[in-house]
Amino acid sequence: MKKIFFILIGCVIFPSVSAQSLYDLWRKAGKEMVKYSIYYSGTYDFQPGSEFPELKCDEHKGRWSPPLKHRKEYRHVSEEITRLGFDYDRQNDTLLFVFYHLYRWPSWFFVYTSNQQHAYIINARTKEAEKIDKRNRPWDIKTTYINNCLYYGQTEKLKNYIQSKGYPMEPRLGFAWRIIIKDGKIIYPSYYWRFID
């Protein structure tokens, strides 16, 4: 009886990845993370022949949660992702979530796992997410390249690419986080990127 009691207590205190909502997974993954802020050190005058200012990449270690000003929105987005059928391997997987903002709500976002890649757009009026098929995707090869760098955690390669090619698309404000799951547990640290212009 005591053994069963301790097993039940352990399940409450240490929930498995499979028992969590997507939003709770994000929060749990943020208990130990490395955060990168990627931004230009000066302004760009958009004149022909002008060079981009130097690209900075600050690195910090600590805790993380969905952006403070957007927690309500990100909880809703996590529910929309789940509603649209998102799934992943609870035992072994690498997850990437990339969000681009126009205003308070993410305008569109990408979700990667080891077996699938999906893109979504948020309806500004209804706040519902809609999966975008390949024929109607509003981005280019740069965005795909940058997302692949993020998925494999190649921050230096990402920085060099943005420095030479510019941001992937408008708006130039975005968040991304990468979560690795192995043997049913989150591998720490997780990784978080913030793009600002």
> Residues 115-125: pLDDT tens digits?
988 888 888 78
151 versus 105: the higher-pLDDT residue is 151
Q: Across-strand partners of 33?
A: 62, 190
**Strand, coil or helix: 30:** coil
Place of tokens 């208990």: 31
Asked if residues 128 and 80 have their Cβ atoms less than 8 Å apart, the reply is: yes
Contact 192, 63 (CB under 8 A): no
If we measure between CA atoms, which residue out of 171, 42, 44, 166 comes closest to residue 98? 171
Task: Enumerate the domain spans of the chain.
Answer: 21-195
Q: What is the pTM of this model?
A: 0.79
What residues have CB less than 8 Å from 3, skipping those under 6 apart?
none
Asked if pLDDT for residue 49 goes beyond 50, the answer is: yes
